[in-house]
Amino acid sequence: MRSSLAYVGVNVLSQLTIVFFVQVLGKSTIIGGYATSRISSFGN
């Protein structure tokens, strides 16, 4: 029971972290778009 609760907690924590980063990037749209294009071009 405790392990499943920890699993759910980790999932919620990771989702909150993703949402937080998306909001931060959204506030700095120019920097976020520049970094995203750089990362995508670097990946390719």
Taking CA atoms, 15 is separated from 5, 10, 19, 21, 29, in Å, by 15, 9, 6, 10, 21
Residue 38 pLDDT: 78
5-39 pLDDT, tens digit per residue, is 989 999 999 999 998 988 887 777 777 677 778 77
Distance CA 28, CA 25 (A): 5
H or E segment at 7?
helix 2-27
pTM of the model: 0.46
Residue 10 pLDDT: 93
